Amino acid sequence: MKRILCIPYSPILGDVRRNSARIVELAHAIAATEMHPDLVVFPELTLSGYLLESLVAEAAVSREDLTALAENLTATGMPAGTEWVVGAPLRDGAQIYNVAAVLAGGQIRHMQKKIFLPTYGMFDEARYFSRGNNLNSYEGALGKTAILICEDAWHMELAYAAAETRAEHVVVISSSPARGYLSGGAAFDSTLTWQNRLRVFADSYGQNFIYCNRSGVEDGILFDGSNFVIGGGPRFLPAQTAAIYEKAALYKLGSGFERHAGFGGDSSRQNDLPLVREILANL
């Protein structure tokens, strides 16, 4: 049985040092409980907040900064094998990327750069960030895992690509504003849209999906702090309230992984990728 803790953290805009310190404080609080998570997931741009605009360069962190955070997390008393998914603006050479960093054992275990940068409506990411150009999975605490960052999970071609990497689990971190009326008081329409979309991907490719959105209000924009885990079936796993942070939740995912047969399963079952490439080349 694997334990996944989703923390819909509300960052202090532009204050990387304070956000990092608060994450370490939360790690101390987790270590004092009996939750024992294998994976702790924070939302997109955890270390900086989302609506950075001209603060991007000031808030950007280095790989050394992320390694230092990984070391501090390990020093909290949490097991060295615990994985932490943390969103951050990463300075890489002359470029700044919106990334998800996987930290474990005092090191950076994996890094995923956001590929699709929304630039419409209230979003203007392409103005401030460079886009990533690859998607890789990694062997992690849950097994083979891929990460999609917010808008990336709106592109079904990336859900397909995650399946082609042989990922058994897909973590989606998000800073998605709450939109639409509350449906029966249970959830915003935007949250229901996320649930429906990722459930289709889980059904299509036979993977487990873990979603963590941020909470709080930033520059008048509300983020609802929703999170959920879709397991085999696919079905939404029950959430256990985690008192360390508002709307934080612990999920228990059965160990072992078995792809479904037929459509709801292995996208490589009929050598699909070369066929898709051939179709696209002939457009």
What is the model's pLDDT at position 185?
Answer: 62
Q: With left for phi above 0 and alpha for psi between -120 and 50, is residue 36 left, alpha or beta?
A: left
pLDDT-based confidence at 184, cuts 50/70/90? low
CATH topology for the 2-281 domain:
Nitrilase/N-carbamoyl-D-aminoacid amidohydrolase (3.60.110)
Q: What would you report as the CA-atom Rg of the chain, rounded to the nearest whole angstrom?
A: 18
Nearest CA to 90 out of 65, 54, 122, 125 is that of 65
What is the model's pLDDT at position 254?
Answer: 82
Which is more confident, 167 or 234? Answer: 167
What is the model's pLDDT at position 29?
Answer: 97
What is the model's pLDDT at position 256?
Answer: 59
- Rounded CA separation 257/232 (Å): 9
- Rounded CA separation 127/192 (Å): 29
The separation between CA 76 and the C-alpha centre of its own chain, rounded to angstroms, equals 23
- Whole-number percent of the chain with pLDDT over 70: 92
Average pLDDT over residues 211-227: 94
The stretches of the chain forming alpha helices (DSSP H) are: 16-31, 56-59, 63-74, 156-164, 189-205, 272-281
pLDDT in tens, 87-127: 999 999 999 999 999 999 999 999 999 999 988 777 889 89
Q: In the chain, what are the domain boundaries?
A: 2-281
Tell me, letter by letter, the H, E, C secondary structure of 13-54: CCCHHHHHHHHHHHHHHHHCCCCCCCEEECCCCCCCCCCCHH
pLDDT-based confidence at 261, cuts 50/70/90? very low
Main-chain dihedrals φ then ψ at residue 104, nearest 5 degrees: -165, 145
What is the model's pLDDT at position 262?
Answer: 39
Main-chain dihedrals φ then ψ at residue 183, nearest 5 degrees: -90, 100
Residue 257 reports pLDDT greater than 50: yes
What is the model's pLDDT at position 232?
Answer: 78
What is the model's pLDDT at position 87?
Answer: 98
β-strand pairing of 227-231 with 107-113? unpaired
C-alpha dist (Å) from residue 125 to 52, 74, 170, 226: 9, 32, 23, 22
The separation between CA 90 and the C-alpha centre of its own chain, rounded to angstroms, equals 16
What is the model's pLDDT at position 264?
Answer: 45
pLDDT-based confidence at 263, cuts 50/70/90? very low
Average pLDDT over residues 43-67: 96
Average pLDDT over residues 170-186: 82
